[in-house]
Amino acid sequence: MLDQRRTPLFTAMQRYLRRRPAVFHVPGHKQGRAAPPALRRWLGAGALQLDLTEAPGLDDLHAPSGVIAEAQALAAAAFGAARSFFLVGGTTAGIHAMLLAALRPGEAVLVPRHAHRSVHGGLILAGARPVWLPPAYDPDLAIPLGVPPEAVAQALDRHPEARALVVVHPTYHGIPAAIHPLVRLAHDRGLPVLVDEAHGAHFAFHPDLPPSALAAGADAVAQSLHKTGGSLTQSSLLHLGYGCRLDPDRVQAALRLVQSTSPSYLLMASLDLARRELALRGRRLWDRALALAAAAREALARVPGVRVVDYPGMDPTRLILDVRGRGLTGYEAAEQLWRQGVAVELAGHGYLLAILSPGDGRESLGRLVAAVRRLRPSRRRKAGAGVGPPGLPPWPEVVLIPREAALGRQEAMPLSRSEGRIAAELVAPYPPGIPVLAPGERITPAVLAYLEECLRTGQHLQGPADPTLRTIRVLAE
Ligand X SMILES: Cc1ncc(COP(=O)(O)O)c(C=O)c1O
Give the residues lining the site for ligand X (CB under 6 A): 90-92, 116, 118, 168, 172, 196, 198-199, 224, 236
For ligand X, the nearest residue by Cβ is 90
Contact 286, 205 (CB under 8 A): yes
Nearest CB to ligand X, comparing residues 172 and 205? 172
| Closest distance of CB 176 from ligand X, Å | 12
| Closest distance of CB 1 from ligand X, Å | 30
Beta strands in 69-170 (DSSP E): 83-87, 108-112, 129-133, 136-138, 143-146, 162-168
| Closest distance of CB 355 from ligand X, Å | 11
| Closest distance of CB 377 from ligand X, Å | 31
CA distance 470 to 477: 20
Nearest CB to ligand X, comparing residues 328 and 354? 354
| Closest distance of CB 62 from ligand X, Å | 19
Closest CA to 102 of 234, 204, 190: 190
DSSP bridge partners of 347: 352
| Closest distance of CB 89 from ligand X, Å | 7
Nearest CB to ligand X, comparing residues 89 and 282? 89
Q: Is 147 exposed, middle or buried (0-12, 13-18, 19+ CB in 10 A)?
A: buried
Nearest CB to ligand X, comparing residues 177 and 385? 177
Alpha-carbon distances of 150 from 157, 168, 169, 375, rounded to whole Å: 11, 16, 17, 41
Q: Is 123 exposed, middle or buried (0-12, 13-18, 19+ CB in 10 A)?
A: buried
CA distance from start to end of the chain: 61
| Closest distance of CB 476 from ligand X, Å | 31
CA distance 338 to 333: 9
Nearest CB to ligand X, comparing residues 172 and 450? 172
The neighbour count for residue 263, using CB atoms within 10 Å, is: 21
Backbone dihedral angles phi then psi of residue 226, each to the nearest 5 degrees: -70, -20
Nearest CB to ligand X, comparing residues 173 and 276? 173
Nearest CB to ligand X, comparing residues 125 and 475? 125
| Closest distance of CB 7 from ligand X, Å | 22
Full DSSP string of 148-195: -HHHHHHHHHH-TTEEEEEEE-S-TTSPPP-HHHHHHHHHHTT--EEE
Alpha-carbon distances of 456 from 164, 345, 431, 443, rounded to whole Å: 39, 26, 15, 19
Closest CA to 211 of 178, 167, 184, 162: 178
Q: Is 179 exposed, middle or buried (0-12, 13-18, 19+ CB in 10 A)?
A: buried
| Closest distance of CB 13 from ligand X, Å | 23
Cis peptide before 445 (omega within 30 of 0): no
Nearest CB to ligand X, comparing residues 67 and 87? 87
The neighbour count for residue 124, using CB atoms within 10 Å, is: 20
Alpha-carbon distances of 477 from 24, 92, 315, 409, 413, rounded to whole Å: 54, 32, 47, 9, 12
Nearest CB to ligand X, comparing residues 396 and 432? 432
CA distance 52 to 69: 17
Nearest CB to ligand X, comparing residues 115 and 334? 115
| Closest distance of CB 241 from ligand X, Å | 18
Nearest CB to ligand X, comparing residues 112 and 358? 112
CA distance 209 to 135: 22
Nearest CB to ligand X, comparing residues 90 and 432? 90
| Closest distance of CB 93 from ligand X, Å | 7
Backbone dihedral angles phi then psi of residue 227, each to the nearest 5 degrees: -80, -45
| Closest distance of CB 200 from ligand X, Å | 10
CA distance 450 to 64: 50
CA distance 4 to 26: 31
